[in-house]
Amino acid sequence: MKRRTIINGLLLGSAGLGIGLVGSRQPLRADEATAVTSNRTVNEKPVSLTLEEWQQLLPEERYDILFREKTERAFTSPLNDEYRSGTFICAACYQPLFSSAHKYDSGTGWPSFTQPINQDVIDTKKDFKLIWPRTEYHCARCSGHQGHVFDDGPEPTGQRWCNNGLALEFVPEGDDFPELRG
């Protein structure tokens, strides 16, 4: 393995864990958070599209993140700085995943949340791609890779749901959701 690959992996791993980084924005307290209001409920029906169909629907970079489990470079997503009220949805199937009420600046360079809208929208699995195991999560509807969850987040959950920005789209409060795909 080349030295550059090892160094990049260690840097990416430490950035993903937020080592030495402190967020500048505090999350809303649970009593301050507004209820998620949307014209969409959790859709439990799995998506029936094939990987080839997803590849035709999505830009290459999004497809690579969502269905090849790649990671975008830190600090490249405009969603990292998105703090309007609204809902973050899966960029593949448009399933609502996160509320802006649970978003905070983790300092890692990726959009981060203290929790998903509810546990039914997320599937998790262990990821052993780095030296230590991590918990990877996917959209429960289309299986699109979103990111990793860590136990180093702020209260009230103590969790950091660290998401690839390209795996999400943002729907501002009051806007219509796109029709579910798949």
CATH number of residue 79's parent domain:
2.170.150.20
* pLDDT value at residue 129: 63
* Number of folded domains that form the chain: 1
β-sheet bridge partners, residue 172 = 86
Q: What is the pTM of this model?
A: 0.75
Sign of CA dihedral 84, 90, 94, 99: negative
Q: How far apart are CA 73 and CA 59, in angstroms?
A: 16
Establish whether 162 is a catalytic residue: yes
Token pair for residue 23?
Answer: 């967020």
Catalytic residue among 90, 139, 142, 162: 162
Q: Does residue 181 sit within a domain?
A: no
Q: Does residue 127 sit within a domain?
A: yes
The average confidence (pLDDT) of the chain is 79
Q: Which domain holds residue 11?
A: 3-172
Of 27, 10, 50, nearest to 112 (Cα)?
27
Convert the pLDDT of each residue in 66-114 to its tens digit: 999 999 999 999 999 999 999 999 999 999 999 999 999 999 999 999 9
